[in-house]
Amino acid sequence: MNTAPARRLDPSAAAAPFDVERVRADFPILSRSVHGKPLVFLDSGASAQKPRQVIDAISQCYEAEYANIHRGVYELSAKATEAYEGARARVQRFVNARSASEIVFTKGTTEAINLVATSWGGAFLGEGDEVVLSVMEHHANIVPWQLLRERTGIVLKVVPTDERGAFPLDAYEALVGPRTRLVALTHVSNVLGTVVPIAEVVRIAHASGAKVLIDGAQGVVHQPVDVQALDADFYCFSGHKLYGPSGIGVLYGKEALLAAMPPYQGGGDMIERVTFERTTFAPPPARFEAGTPPIAGTVGLHAALDYVASFDPAAVAAHEHDLLAYATERLGALNSVRLYGTAPGKAAIVSFTMDGVHPHDIGTILDRAGVAVRVGHHCAQPLMDHFDIAGTVRASFGLYNTRGDVDRLIDGLEDVREIFG
Ligand code: PLP
């Protein structure tokens, strides 16, 4: 397992300069071609590619240290359990949680939000209680609340956005009232790149006595997250967007909240004592981790967090900012391109349309040129409705992207223009 130091939390560690070519060398997939062209991968917002360090950690787990956890008395099981709980401790440090028992492993962000909606929402929300969302939410942070609304009669309130795709704090504040029990917002919009001012969001919600859940699927990728400083009640994210494996994610929840929540699923590992008359449950986090978890997934996540933390966050931010500024400038110079999401301080995600060309056609032509972008509604149909469009083309940048990648995107768009006239 990769045990690189957590530079973020160790100011004495020397910060390596950010060398994108060295970073690229860590990602084996980036050396392959697609349709005979070197791959340009601009879809990290959907799922990031994996560095050798993560791939090796997962292989090592299966080759030398694999067994089921928590149940075995034998050496290998003890080692696997140690790795699993070690990954939990790594996540704790990564988001600066107070305790490792505030870290629940889930399949990903989607499952984490469903867990909170079903367990916390089901136990503590009732008819007329209000949950505040925003128009820029991913479906993962809309549908679980609608399902809860069907069961309990809660009311959903939706924060709008403006032309630039900014988050209007005043409109949000106006929606938070005495019936607001929960504010559930994305940290960073997966379509617009808008960074929601979550510290302010939390302050306003808490002043009204509401809890806050932050969907950090995109947020945790683009900036360090300190859950204690943010004071969010729940924060969730997915390993696969953070250069780790798919099938593993995290729900951070404040200890007292998790302790008061009923189980989400029943099964092995989440119990204290089972009889046919009555079952008592384990304390968190085990209470929410029924069944055999993705053991190798947590090992891969651990390696991914080590990998991300091995970079100076300021250098990463500068790199991503440069890519965003360059892409925005070059796209803006193309006639007929319309950008969505121009809020100040946004993350390195650009969404656009081209007059008279369907996003799917653009995506297909770019693919032939070796450039992978996402097209469509990006699981944010209410946001598409807001802008009155069917979809966009989205380029989302990761650690390994370069200005040369942006140039290839622009070349591909020029091909699109030629084909469509
Ligand atoms: N929330 C946001 C903002 C996302 O971008 C995504 C995925 O694209 C999700 C939630 C869902 O993440 P997952 O599919 O990993 O559960």
- Contacts with 102 (C-beta within 8 Å, 6 or more apart), sequence order: 92, 252, 253, 254, 255, 258, 284, 285
Query: Does 317 lie in the same domain as 297?
Result: no
First to last CA, the chain: 53
Which atom of ligand 1 lies closest to the CA of 111? 16
**Bridge partner residues of 104 (DSSP):** 251
Query: Does 320 lie in the same domain as 300?
Result: no
Considering the domain boundaries, does residue 386 fall inside one?
yes
**Angle, nearest 10°, between helix axes 359-368 and 403-420?**
120
Considering the domain boundaries, does residue 275 fall inside one?
yes
Q: What is the pLDDT of residues 29-70, one digit of tens each?
A: 999 999 999 999 999 999 999 999 999 999 999 999 999 998
Tell which of 289, 309, 329 closes a domain: 309
**Greater pLDDT, 5 or 79:** 79
Query: Does 305 lie in the same domain as 321?
Result: no
- Residue 2: what pLDDT? 37
Ligand 1 centre to CA of 159 (Å) is 19
pLDDT category, 335, cuts 50, 70, 90?
confident
CB–CB of 366/373 below 8 Å?
yes
Query: Does 382 lie in the same domain as 292?
Result: no
Domain housing 153: 55-309
Considering the domain boundaries, does residue 3 fall inside one?
no
Tell which of 309, 344, 363 closes a domain: 309
Task: Name the residue at shortest CA distance from atom 12 of ligand 1.
Answer: 109
Query: Does 376 lie in the same domain as 316?
Result: yes
Query: Does 357 lie in the same domain as 297?
Result: no
Query: Does 20 lie in the same domain as 167?
Result: no
Ligand 1 centre to CA of 260 (Å) is 26
Residue labelled with tokens 């959907």: 46
pLDDT category, 71, cuts 50, 70, 90?
confident
Query: Does 317 lie in the same domain as 289?
Result: no
- Residue 16: what pLDDT? 56
Task: Name the residue at shortest CA distance from atom 4 of ligand 1.
Answer: 217
Q: Is the CB of residue 134 below 6 angstroms from any atom belonging to ligand 1? A: no
Residue 164 has pLDDT above 70, yes or no: yes
Closest CA to 54 of 248, 230, 276, 266: 248
Closest CA to 359 of 191, 194, 211, 206: 191
Residue 292 has pLDDT above 70, yes or no: yes
Sheet holding 180-186, edge to edge: 103-106, 249-253, 234-238, 211-215, 180-186, 130-134, 155-159
Q: Is the CB of residue 190 below 6 angstroms from any atom belonging to ligand 1? A: yes
- Contacts with 351 (C-beta within 8 Å, 6 or more apart), sequence order: 191, 192, 193, 339, 340, 341, 378, 392, 393, 394
Q: How many C-beta atoms surround the C-beta of residue 122 within 10 A? A: 16
Torsion of CA 356, 357, 358, 363, to 10 degrees: -160
CB–CB of 135/382 below 8 Å?
yes
Determine the Cα–Cα distance for residues 288 and 264; give it in Å rounded to an integer. Answer: 6
Looking only at the bridges linking them, the beta strands covering 271-274 and 392-396 are: unpaired
- Residue 21: what pLDDT? 97
Q: What is the pLDDT of residues 165-186, one digit of tens each?
A: 999 999 999 999 999 999 999 9
Alpha helices per DSSP H over 217-371:
219-222, 227-230, 255-260, 295-309, 313-332, 359-368
Determine the Cα–Cα distance for residues 398 and 97; give it in Å rounded to an integer. Answer: 25
Considering the domain boundaries, does residue 9 fall inside one?
no
CA 11 to chain centre: 26
**Angle, nearest 10°, between helix axes 313-332 and 403-420?**
20
Determine the Cα–Cα distance for residues 394 and 382; give it in Å rounded to an integer. Answer: 17
- Contacts with 139 (C-beta within 8 Å, 6 or more apart), sequence order: 379, 380, 381
Which atom of ligand 1 lies closest to the CA of 379? 8
Task: Name the residue at shortest CA distance from atom 8 of ligand 1.
Answer: 46
- Residue 136: what pLDDT? 98
Residue 93 has pLDDT above 80, yes or no: yes
Total domains, the chain: 2
Annotated catalytic, 61? Answer: no
CB–CB of 240/217 below 8 Å?
no
Determine the Cα–Cα distance for residues 49 and 33; give it in Å rounded to an integer. Answer: 15
Quick one: average pLDDT of 207-217?
A: 98
Tell which of 309, 328, 350 closes a domain: 309
Residue 421 has pLDDT above 90, yes or no: no
- Residue 13: what pLDDT? 46
CB–CB of 158/183 below 8 Å?
no
Q: What is the pLDDT of residues 185-206, one digit of tens each?
A: 999 999 999 999 999 999 999 9
Q: What is the pLDDT of residues 248-287, one digit of tens each?
A: 999 999 999 999 999 999 999 999 999 999 999 999 999 9
Which atom of ligand 1 lies closest to the CA of 108? 16
CB–CB of 379/10 below 8 Å?
no
**Bridge partner residues of 393 (DSSP):** 352, 375
Out of 4, 6, 271, 379, pick the active-site residue. Answer: 379
Q: Is the CB of residue 396 below 6 angstroms from any atom belonging to ligand 1? A: no
Q: Which of 43, 135, 242, 379 to mutate to test the pocket of ligand 1 (most atoms within 8 A of CB)?
A: 379
Ligand 1 centre to CA of 274 (Å) is 35
Query: Does 154 lie in the same domain as 283?
Result: yes
pLDDT category, 1, cuts 50, 70, 90?
very low
Q: Is the CB of residue 108 below 6 angstroms from any atom belonging to ligand 1? A: yes
Residue at 324: amino acid letter: L
Residue 78 has pLDDT above 60, yes or no: yes
Considering the domain boundaries, does residue 1 fall inside one?
no
Determine the Cα–Cα distance for residues 76 and 82; give it in Å rounded to an integer. Answer: 10
Q: What is the pLDDT of residues 361-420, one digit of tens each?
A: 999 999 999 999 999 999 999 999 999 999 999 999 999 999 999 999 999 999 999 999
Q: Is the CB of residue 110 below 6 angstroms from any atom belonging to ligand 1? A: yes
Query: Does 221 lie in the same domain as 202?
Result: yes
pTM, entire model = 0.95
Tokens (6 digits) for 256:
């007292």
- Contacts with 162 (C-beta within 8 Å, 6 or more apart), sequence order: 168
